[in-house]
């Protein structure tokens, strides 16, 4: 069976094929079963908030009909941005595994470090750097292709 991070990496690759910044995410239930999986759909949905994490947390709640994700694990290929980092608390996500660190755009281990702030409503268990190199390589290759003239359509998740 594919691991959560393998599925998230697959979603990231699909996202790149759609011209989206390659980030993928999966929510696993308490028994490790996949509740939802999603990739970035910012361009497709014309929605700057349609990050993989937001889509997959929403889909996981719909899938289980529950109220929160306290017994679940969110697996995502990139360190969540501040919007997604704050949403982790709203969804009461129990555990987060992420791939590449994002020193510029991250909001978990970088920047505002929202889950670690005193006023945070909820703090998930957080494990970063899981298969970091594969996640980072996908992103690097995507942005290198964008910079080569004629190598693809101009994108821009815009942070």
Residue 44 host element (H or E)? helix 42-45
Say how far apart CA 49 and CA 11 lie, in whole Å: 17
Note if 53 is an active site residue: yes
Name every residue whose Cβ is closer than 8 Å to that of residue 122 and which is 6 or more positions away in sequence.
88, 89, 92, 93, 115
Geometric angle at alpha carbon 81, from 76 and 84, rounded to 5°: 70
Tell the smallest beta-carbon distance from residue 46 to a copy of itself (Å): 6
Return the number of the residue (26 or 57) whose C-beta is nearest a copy of itself: 57
44 near a copy of itself, judged by CB under 8 A: no
Return the number of the residue (9 or 126) whose C-beta is nearest a copy of itself: 126
Q: Which stretch binds a copy of itself (CB under 8 A): 31-39, 54-62, 124-132, 137-145?
A: 54-62
Out of 10, 92, 95, 128, name the contact with a copy of itself by CB under 8 A: 92
Burial 77-102 (b: 16+ CB within 10 A, else e): bbbbbbebbbbbbebbbbbbbbbbbb
Catalytic residue (one of 20, 43, 53, 79): 53
136 near a copy of itself, judged by CB under 8 A: no
111 near a copy of itself, judged by CB under 8 A: yes
Say how far apart CA 116 and CA 85 lie, in whole Å: 10
* Tokens matching residue 22: 């390659």
153 near a copy of itself, judged by CB under 8 A: no
Using CB under 8 A, list all residues that contact a copy of itself. 46-49, 54, 57-58, 61-62, 65, 67-68, 81-83, 85-87, 89-92, 104-105, 107, 110-112, 114, 117, 119, 121-122, 158-159
Which residues are the active-site residues?
Answer: 53
Task: Indicate the annotated binding residues for Zn(2+).
Answer: 51, 81, 84
């Amino acid at each position: 069976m594919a691991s959560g991070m393998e599925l998230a990496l697959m979603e990231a690759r699909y996202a790149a094929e759609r011209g989206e910044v390659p980030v993928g995410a999966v929510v696993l239930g308490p028994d490790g079963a996949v509740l939802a999986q999603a990739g970035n759909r910012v361009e497709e949905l014309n929605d700057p908030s349609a990050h993989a994490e937001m889509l997959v947390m929403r889909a996981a709640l719909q899938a289980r009909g529950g109220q929160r994700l306290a017994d679940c694990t969110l697996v995502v290929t990139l360190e969540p941005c501040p919007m997604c980092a704050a949403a982790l608390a709203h969804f009461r996500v129990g555990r987060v595994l992420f791939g590449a660190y994002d020193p510029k755009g991250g909001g978990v281990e970088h920047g505002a470090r929202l889950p670690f702030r005193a006023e945070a409503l909820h703090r998930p268990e957080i494990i970063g750097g899981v298969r970091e190199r594969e996640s980072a390589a996908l992103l690097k290759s995507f942005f290198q292709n964008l910079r080569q003239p004629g190598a693809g359509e101009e994108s821009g998740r815009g942070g």
